[in-house]
């Protein structure tokens, strides 16, 4: 079958090796620069450890998306697309939009190589725009920020914290009042999403306080992944043991 042919696997291997090489290159360069700046190896190793741990659970959810799309597109194309620029929500939408043009959908396997080729083109062209914007604009965006940061350190700290908070706020707002679809009882905001949010916040606050109180340096890198995984665990328990009439979404 063309969707999972040797050629497709070879293309996937090429793309993935390229991505790995690029990450390793930037990692080595940043590490060397960190040494020059006097960052301790302990700090940098801690950064690697916490980032690896942090990425595992979301990465598994990406694999889940690959599997979902595999039904229509075979396993290799979603794998390539989600390893490069890919994003869970976009890729699913792009595939669905492209398939709809051919009166098909992600719930049915694609049979025609021409149709499949059209989908690859749509998914590729749809996603590459950031890679055109970055080489042109990133340097000037960063320069402006660097300049502002140099002139007023306290204000720059407040503003950059505010920018992070603004971003986080959008996702939190969505977990509180976001709209789901009618046939899925768990994709919009409701008791479950709010409780999971609360558990995650509480775990993080408790773990951070514990680290401060007892000077648990080793635990600091794990507070965020632990809170996240703990809250995901809570989602499983709540779904199982809360009476179904309490598991509601506010609106859909």
Partner 1 sequence: MKSYFDKVHTWGRISCITTICVLFLVPIVFCIHYNAWPPLQGVLKGLAAVMPLYWATAVAEVISYAPLLGAGGSYLSFVTGNIANLKLPCAISAIENAKVRPNTEEGEVVTTISIAASSLTTTVIIALGVLLFRPILPKITAPESVFAPAFQQIIPALFGAIGASYFIRHLKISVLPILAGALVLVFVPSMQIGVLIIITIVVSIGGAYLMYKKNWV
Query: Which 171-230 positions form the footprint of partner 1 (CB under 8 A)?
Result: 171-179, 186-187, 192-194, 196-205, 208, 220-221, 223-224, 227-229
Q: How far is the CB of 79 from partner 1 (least distance, A)?
A: 5
CB 173 within 8 A of CB 204: no
Write out the chain in H/E/C secondary structure. CHHHCHHHHHHHHHHHHHHHHHHHHHHHHHHHHHHHHCCCHHHHHHHHHHHHHHHHHHHHHHHHHHHHHHHHHCCHHHHHHHHCCCCHHHHHHHHHHHHHHCCCCCCCCCCCHHHHHHHHHHHHHHHCHHHHHHHHHHHHHHHHHHHHHHHCHHHHHHHHHHHHHHHHHHHHHHHHHCCCCCCCCCCCCEHHHHHHHHHHHHHHHHHHHHHHHHCCHHHHCCHHHHHHHHHHHHHHHHHHHCCHHHCCECCC
List binders of partner 1 among 59-88 (CB under 8 A): 59-64, 66-68, 75, 79-80, 82-88
Contact with partner 1 (CB under 8 A) among 73, 104, 106, 116 = 116
Contact with partner 1 (CB under 8 A) among 41, 109, 111, 117 = 117
Which residues, at least 6 apart from 217, have a Cβ–Cβ distance to it below 8 Å? 211
Q: How far is the CB of 195 from partner 1 (least distance, A)?
A: 9
Q: How far is the CB of 88 from partner 1 (least distance, A)?
A: 7
CB 200 within 8 A of CB 230: yes
Binding-site size for partner 1 (CB under 8 A) equals 153
Q: How far is the CB of 105 from partner 1 (least distance, A)?
A: 13
Contact with partner 1 (CB under 8 A) among 105, 163, 181, 216 = 163
Per CB under 8 A, does 92 bind partner 1? no
Q: How far is the CB of 31 from partner 1 (least distance, A)?
A: 6
List binders of partner 1 among 120-139 (CB under 8 A): 120-122, 124-135, 137-139
Q: Which is nearer to partner 1, 106 or 192 (CB)?
A: 192
Q: Which is nearer to partner 1, 198 or 246 (CB)?
A: 198
Q: How far is the CB of 123 from partner 1 (least distance, A)?
A: 8
Contact with partner 1 (CB under 8 A) among 41, 48, 111, 181 = 48
Contact with partner 1 (CB under 8 A) among 1, 236, 241, 245 = 236
Q: Which is nearer to partner 1, 166 or 243 (CB)?
A: 166
21 vs 100: CA distance, rounded Å: 36
Q: How far is the CB of 46 from partner 1 (least distance, A)?
A: 6
């Amino acid at each position: 079958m063309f969707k999972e042919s040797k050629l497709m696997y070879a293309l996937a291997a090429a793309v993935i090796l390229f991505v790995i090489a690029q990450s390793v290159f930037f990692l080595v360069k940043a590490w060397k620069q960190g040494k020059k700046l006097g960052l301790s190896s302990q700090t940098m190793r801690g950064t690697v450890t916490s980032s690896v741990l942090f990425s595992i659970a979301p990465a598994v959810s990406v694999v889940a998306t690959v599997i979902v799309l595999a039904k229509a597109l075979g396993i290799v194309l979603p794998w390539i697309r989600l390893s490069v620029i890919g994003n869970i929500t976009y890729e699913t939408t792009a595939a669905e939009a492209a398939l709809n043009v051919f009166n098909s959908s992600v719930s049915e396997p694609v049979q025609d190589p021409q149709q499949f080729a059209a989908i690859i083109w749509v998914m590729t062209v749809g996603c590459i725009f950031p890679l055109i914007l970055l080489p042109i604009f990133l340097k000037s965006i960063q320069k402006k920020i660097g300049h502002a940061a140099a002139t007023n350190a306290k204000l720059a700290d407040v503003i950059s914290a505010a920018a992070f908070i603004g971003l986080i706020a959008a996702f939190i707002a969505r977990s509180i009042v976001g709209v789901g679809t009618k046939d899925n009882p768990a994709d919009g905001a409701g008791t479950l999403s709010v409780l999971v949010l609360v558990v995650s916040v509480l775990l993080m606050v408790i773990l951070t306080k514990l680290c401060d109180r007892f000077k648990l340096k080793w635990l600091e890198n794990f507070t965020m992944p632990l809170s996240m995984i703990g809250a995901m665990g809570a989602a499983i328990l709540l779904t199982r043991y809360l009476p179904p009439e309490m598991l509601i979404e506010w609106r859909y």
